[in-house]
Amino acid sequence: MDYSHKVPLSTEFFRSLLPEVLVFVAGVMASRLLRGFGALASQALRARGPNGVSVVRSMASGGGVPTDEEQATGLEREVMLAARKGQDPYNILAPKATSGTKEDPNLVPSITNKRIVGCICEEDNSTVIWFWLHKGEAQRCPSCGTHYKLVPHQLAH
């Protein structure tokens, strides 16, 4: 396209606009800066109570961050207190392994008189052998012969 019919703009024209452009850019930057500062100031004022004292509690005052034991409530607190005594009221921990013989069977807690048990007979095996374990004498796994015995268990609540 031919732009020869257009009036060429000189550098003097751009230089004459420079102060006006700088004032405009400075005004935009200043308004953005003040807007950001205003938002921060309003947040700070909202965080203070009616008498000017900060409503937000500082963790540094009054002993620092509370420990897990200090702030635990409900079931979590109950489990923590039982764990301190060496108890496991909800069977959260893995059962203690025994030799699995008739004289020293694996103890299986139950609130009823029977429970279904799964035995992984070999360490590298991915198959689980399921069978019912009834209250009374120790019973054997039908596949590997490991002995299990049902013991009564009371719920913590």
- Whole-angstrom distance, CA of residue 7 vs CA of residue 13: 12
User: Residue ranges of the domains in the chain?
Assistant: 8-58, 68-93, 106-152
Quick: pLDDT tens for 22-37: 566 666 666 776 677 6
Q: Residue 139, Cβ neighbours under 10 Å: how many?
A: 19
Q: For residue 26, what pLDDT is reported?
A: 64
SS3 content of the chain, % helix, strand, coil (to 5): 30, 15, 50
**pLDDT for 51:** 63
pLDDT (0 to 100) of residue 44:
63
d(Cα 156, Cα 152) in Å, to the nearest integer? Answer: 13
Ligand-binding annotation for 141, yes or no, is yes
Token pair listed for 18: 């420079």
Looking at residue 10, its pLDDT comes to 59
What's the CA gap between 109 and 82, in Å, rounded?
17
Tell me if 144 is assigned to a ligand binding site.
yes
Q: What is the pLDDT of residues 25-82, one digit of tens each?
A: 666 666 776 677 666 666 666 666 566 666 565 555 667 888 888 899 998 898 888 8
| Residues 87 and 96: beta-carbon distance below 8 Å | no
Q: Could you tell me the CATH superfamily of domain 106-152?
A: Cytochrome c oxidase, subunit Vb (2.60.11.10)
Per-chain mean pLDDT for the chain: 78
- Please tell me whether the overall predicted TM-score, pTM, comes out greater than 0.85 for this model: no
Q: Which residue has the tokens 């921060």?
A: 40
At 75-129, the pLDDT tens digits run: 889 888 888 898 887 777 777 778 899 999 999 988 899 999 999 988 888 899 9
List CB contacts of 126: < 8 A, sequence separation 6 or more. Answer: 120
